[in-house]
Amino acid sequence: MNVLLGLSASNGIGIGKAFVVPESEKRVISSKKIKAEDKPKQLERFERSLAKVTGQIASQLDAVKGDKVQSEIFETYFLMLNDPEFLGDVRKSFEASNHSIEYILNQKTEDYADRLRSSGNAYLSERAEDICDIFGRVLNDLLDFHPFDIEQVPDDAVIIAKSMAPSDTVILSKRRIAGIALTDGGVSSHVGILARNYGIPAVFDIENILDEIKTDALVIVDGTSGEVIESPDGVALSYYQNKITKAKEHADKLKVFRDKPAKSADGESFQLMANIGTVDEARVAMEEGADGIGLFRTEFLFMSEANHAMGAVHSKVAAFSEENQFNAYKRVLETMRGKPVTIRTLDAGGDKIISSLDVQHSSSEEKNPLMGLRAIRLTLANPSLLRTQLRALYRASVFGNLKIMIPLVTSVEQVEEVLAFAEKVRDELKSENIPFDENVPIGVMIETAAAAMISDCLAKVSDFFSIGTNDLTQYTIGVDRENALVAPLYDEFHLAVLRLLHKTIKAAEAEGIPVSVCGEMASRTESVMVLAGMGVRTLSMSPKLITSVKELLSKMSIDELKAISSKRLNSL
């Protein structure tokens, strides 16, 4: 038995077999020269790999018969694999050089993709990713390289990894995962948020976990205490099994709160909303008694669609289409049956890189992506993304009670730009005779010190505020929320953060616009009390935490809550 200590990231206890995620590897292509006599053999291997991948695509094409979108993708791949011009060029260049076939194929693929990307034609630049994908498969086969696919994680496993990329976390909604234990990770990281959303116990910041735990070892993850126990003995195992039973009993008791309105002990009403990242979570929000959706993180929808909708083949074409987005938003609005649904425009960039997004710049080229082209900055720089999303949102607006929210706002001008953009989209829909709700409120997220400091000005151009305390804390203190090395500095109760919160709440009150909190502070016991004491009446959180926050509020009077927050605000 081996006990490892880390940081509690998502409460609860999970027991399961370890699945150790290997560190991500890159395809390595040697630039070493080859001998002339090796050429025929290399060419033979190339033809074999080409034929093998062609065969795989042919059978995938067969499997998706009847699905127009997927068939088109595989047909394109098929054509590329048989493109006489490209293949002729590869063969000719190989004959003329003394580099390996892998080296030449990689070089030609990149050259070709670059030419497509710089063609200025949207359709052709999309083909650039396709050509990299398909000839990437031929290269993998040639090199006998098998990249890790997160889809391999089995049900009931405990995931042991260095870190998880936001795009990997999609797996969490698709499998029954018993627990997560990572070397990296901050409590407010996206993998942390999603683990709490799905009720998966998680411990982060565990040193050497990859050396200590092997795949298939039995592991207990105690997300509440931050302990991970490898190969537990009988006593430990029954102790934790007993704890799981007790936790289930407590969760059953909390169920009575599902149908009760959220109220303080002295009868003040609260709205407890859900944060979701996928369409299916809207159903969970309803089951847990949410008063609405306070935050739909649409980038997770984009990531899951981009990575998985097409099976093994990546294609952004269908994933980001207006039609796909419209259907997703419509389903969430319908599921929520008239309850408010706040959908945030794409918050990509920074730590949430959507590799298949065809955007002006990609975060991988930025030195400091969290300070770079992310969220509203990214969509304003790539207006076609914003236009498609706004069209889909407005079209869906007739199916429920929609609000649109803009992430990472730092200036009044950005809001005005989005408002003008939204007006243009509404005009377009009108001229196409497409029905939509003219009065969808458009609000902003307060996630930077800049936004909080000018919240009085922003309140004049916004229909509502939602405070994103995760980023507000990160940017105010200047501490990366994902970085375990500086995790002790990430303090949501830092007086600077509390003062900015207070300022924002007062600015919203003065302008008479609603203000809510949708960062992680909205669900943690101590911070819920502080926020409620400051006057916040709408809190948005992981659906699974709604009943416990209702229970907490039901035990406190407003005076008690006020006393707690003023103690914090006057703490220095």
Which chain residues interact with ligand PEP by CB under 6 A?
193, 295, 297, 347, 447, 468-471, 518-519
Residue number with CB closer to ligand PEP (374 or 426): 374
- Name the residue type at position 30: S
Look up tokens 């293949």; give the residue. 87
Rounded to whole angstroms, the Cα distance separating 191 from 168 reads 9
Residue number with CB closer to Mg ion (286 or 452): 452
- 137 touches which of Mg ion, ligand PEP, none (CB within 5 to 8 A by kind)? none
> Which listed residue (132, 190, 250, 502) is catalytic?
190
Residue number with CB closer to ligand PEP (101 or 346): 346
Q: Encode 185-203: b = buried (16+ Cβ within 10 Å), e = exposed.
A: bbbbbbbbbbbbbbbbbbb
Rounded to whole angstroms, the Cα distance separating 168 from 414 reads 31
CB of 241 to ligand PEP, least distance (A): 34
CB of 253 to ligand PEP, least distance (A): 29
Which DSSP category does 368 fall into?
S
Residue number with CB closer to ligand PEP (212 or 463): 463
Using CB atoms, what's the residue nearest to Mg ion?
A: 471
Query: Radius of gyration of the chain from Cα atoms?
Result: 26
Rounded to whole angstroms, the Cα distance separating 178 from 17 reads 8
The answer to whether 372 and 352 have CB atoms below 8 angstroms apart is: no
Rounded to whole angstroms, the Cα distance separating 513 from 117 reads 44
Binding residue count for Mg ion, defined by CB under 5 A: 3
Look up tokens 């938003």; give the residue. 329
Helix axes 525-534, 558-569, angle to 10 degrees: 100
Residue number with CB closer to Mg ion (20 or 497): 497
Residue number with CB closer to Mg ion (102 or 447): 447
Q: Which stretch binds Mg ion (CB under 5 A): 242-250, 312-320, 440-448, 452-460?
A: 440-448
- 519 touches which of ligand PEP, Mg ion, none (CB within 5 to 8 A by kind)? ligand PEP
* Active-site annotation holds for 518: yes
Q: Does 482 help bind Mg ion (rule: CB under 5 A)?
A: no
CB of 329 to Mg ion, least distance (A): 20
**Token representation of residue 25:** 């590897």
CB of 447 to ligand PEP, least distance (A): 5
**Token representation of residue 522:** 């909205």
Antiparallel, parallel or unpaired: β 401-406 and 442-446? parallel
Tell me the β-bridge partners of 466. 445, 516
17 closest CA partner among 153, 203, 138: 153
Antiparallel, parallel or unpaired: β 227-230 and 2-5? antiparallel
- Name the residue type at position 243: K
> Which listed residue (99, 132, 314, 518) is catalytic?
518
CB of 127 to ligand PEP, least distance (A): 32
CB of 526 to Mg ion, least distance (A): 21
- 358 touches which of Mg ion, ligand PEP, none (CB within 5 to 8 A by kind)? none
Residue number with CB closer to Mg ion (305 or 447): 447
Helix axes 39-63, 84-96, angle to 10 degrees: 160
CB of 389 to ligand PEP, least distance (A): 16
- 518 touches which of ligand PEP, Mg ion, none (CB within 5 to 8 A by kind)? ligand PEP
Please state the φ and ψ torsions of residue 479, each to the nearest 5 degrees: -130, 120
CB of 448 to ligand PEP, least distance (A): 10
Rounded to whole angstroms, the Cα distance separating 105 from 138 reads 9
**Token representation of residue 177:** 């995962």
DSSP 528-564: HHHHHHHT--EEEE-GGGHHHHHHHHHT--HHHHHHH
Residue number with CB closer to ligand PEP (298 or 401): 298
- 49 touches which of ligand PEP, Mg ion, none (CB within 5 to 8 A by kind)? none
Residue number with CB closer to ligand PEP (289 or 519): 519
- Name the residue type at position 299: E
Rounded to whole angstroms, the Cα distance separating 294 from 546 reads 12
**Token representation of residue 418:** 């989005």
Look up tokens 């039609």; give the residue. 323
**Around Cβ 528, how many Cβ atoms within 10 Å?**
26
CB of 469 to ligand PEP, least distance (A): 5
Strand positions, DSSP E, 304-422: 340-344, 401-406
Q: Does 14 help bind Mg ion (rule: CB under 5 A)?
A: no
Q: Does 468 help bind Mg ion (rule: CB under 5 A)?
A: yes
Residue number with CB closer to ligand PEP (232 or 340): 340
The answer to whether 18 and 222 have CB atoms below 8 angstroms apart is: no
- 297 touches which of ligand PEP, Mg ion, none (CB within 5 to 8 A by kind)? ligand PEP
* Active-site annotation holds for 132: no
Q: Does 471 help bind Mg ion (rule: CB under 5 A)?
A: yes
CB of 408 to Mg ion, least distance (A): 7
The catalytic site residues sit at 190, 518
- Binding residues (CB under 5 A) for Mg ion: these are 447, 468, 471
